[in-house]
Amino acid sequence: MNESIQSLCDTVKNAYLKQQALNIQGGNSKLFYGNEINAEIVSTKNLNGIIEYQPSELYITAYAGTPLTVIEHSLAEHNQMLSFEPPLYTVNATLGGTVACGLSGPRRPYADAIRDCILGTNIINGKGEYLVFGGKVMKNVAGYDVSRLMCGAFGTLGIITQVSIKVLPQVKQEITLSFEFTEQEAIKQIQQWLSELIPISATYHENNQLWIRLSGLDNTLNKIQERIGGEKIDSNERFWESVKNHRTNFFIDDTPLYRCIVPINSPTFTIQGKTSFEWNGGLRWIKSNEPFENIIQQCETFRGHASLYRSSSKPVDFMHPMSDHLKKLHLNLKRAFDPAGILNPRRMYSWC
């Protein structure tokens, strides 16, 4: 255990004894996502660096405070990548923060979600104990997968200190095609292309314009374009960077932004505002000034769930309400990992 980890353990132990809340922070690139925490700040920035990288074994292990840009650069040198294409938003984005927020980018439906790539995590729980979970290879085992439990927990179950994560070879060739379709026309057309085994690796729709990314070999991609049409854009890589990091025209203004996960074939939202989508229509972005309750109600009619992603003012809870059964499970997990409730209290829900 290095000095930085030992210092974090001591800090958490003291806070546990004093029943003092802690605000866990990494690079703060996603500070906008979640409830504000008024507590002593504990930073993971000193936990920085790649611990082990085995390109032939397709995994990398790094400290939680390591910038994603550093990891992605190291992988690119060996023609490898993070398959879930995580959003960064700023250069300060860290590996631990990315895991804690559980966010995946445009490639998620066609490769892996971030949770599927986590092989192992080391954490400090709410009593200051240093715990190790998982390993460095994929395993099919019975029981709870605690490493993946840390994904999307927003630091409420433990301070992530290091992560082992699966990587994949980079795609040989990619092109992006644009089409003019309404939202529902685009969703229907994407489903048709997927049924024809068109190698789609990303989709984005905004303002009656659909973009799809195709991945494969030059000859194959050229033949597919000849068959399905569309206009090939020149800035393939830059375009998808702008999509995942919210730099397209849709995301520019300050209107509250909602993130809605719904079944792909869900109807168009009737909420007043603007919409765009990714993931074949499974991820709908909504810019609207309507109350969060209205967004939640419509998501539930589509059997989906919503979160208030970015806003200058937030309600008491930014996450979709839980059922009583799920709330009980959530509280039991919180008490098991953080019995005094000192780690990022109320970051996800006002009641926890």
Helix, coil or strand: residue 317: coil
Report the pLDDT value the prediction gives residue 65, as an integer from 0 to 100: 97
Give yes or no for a contact between 128 and 16, defined as CB atoms under 8 angstroms apart.
yes
Q: How many CB atoms lie within 10 A of CB 104?
A: 26
Residue spans of the domains in the chain: they are: 3-169+330-337, 173-244, 255-310
Burial class for 226, CB neighbours closer than 10 Å (0-12, 13-18, 19+): exposed
Instruction: List % helix, strand, coil for the chain (3-state, nearest 5).
Output: 30, 25, 45
* Range 173-244 has CATH code 1.10.20: no
What does the pLDDT look like over 137-179, one tens digit per residue? Answer: 655 454 458 899 999 999 999 999 999 999 999 998 999 999 9
pTM for the complete prediction? Answer: 0.93
String of DSSP letters for 194-240: HHTT--EEEEEEETTEEEEEEEE-HHHHHHHHHHH--EEPS-HHHHH
What does the pLDDT look like over 97-143, one tens digit per residue? Answer: 999 999 999 999 999 999 999 999 999 999 999 999 987 665 545 44
Give yes or no for a contact between 183 and 176, defined as CB atoms under 8 angstroms apart.
no
Cβ-count burial 302-311 (b if 16+ within 10 Å, e if not): bebbbbbbbb
Nearest partner of 342 among 116, 84, 158, judged by Cα: 158
Tokens of 186: 């685009």
String of DSSP letters for 47-105: S-SEEEEEGGGTEEEEETTSBHHHHHHHHHTTTEE-TT----SSTT-BHHHHHHHT---
Q: What percentage of residues in the chain have a pLDDT greater than 70?
A: 97
**Fold of the domain spanning 3-169+330-337:** 3.30.465
What does the pLDDT look like over 174-196, one tens digit per residue? Answer: 999 999 999 999 999 999 999 99
Report the pLDDT value the prediction gives residue 142, as an integer from 0 to 100: 46
Q: Which amino acid is at 95?
A: L
Q: Per-residue pLDDT averaged across 267-288, rounded? A: 97
Report the pLDDT value the prediction gives residue 97, as an integer from 0 to 100: 96
Strands 231-232 and 257-261: unpaired
H helices of the chain, where?
3-18, 68-76, 95-101, 114-117, 146-149, 183-195, 218-228, 236-244, 292-301, 324-337
How far is it, in rounded angstroms, from Cα 193 to Cα 176?
14
> What is the strand order of the sheet 231-232 is part of?
231-232, 173-180, 209-216, 200-206, 274-278, 283-287, 257-261, 305-310
Backbone φ, ψ for residue 246 (5° rounding): 55, 55
Determine which of 28-37, 53-62, 114-123, 179-188 has the lowest per-residue pLDDT on average. Answer: 28-37
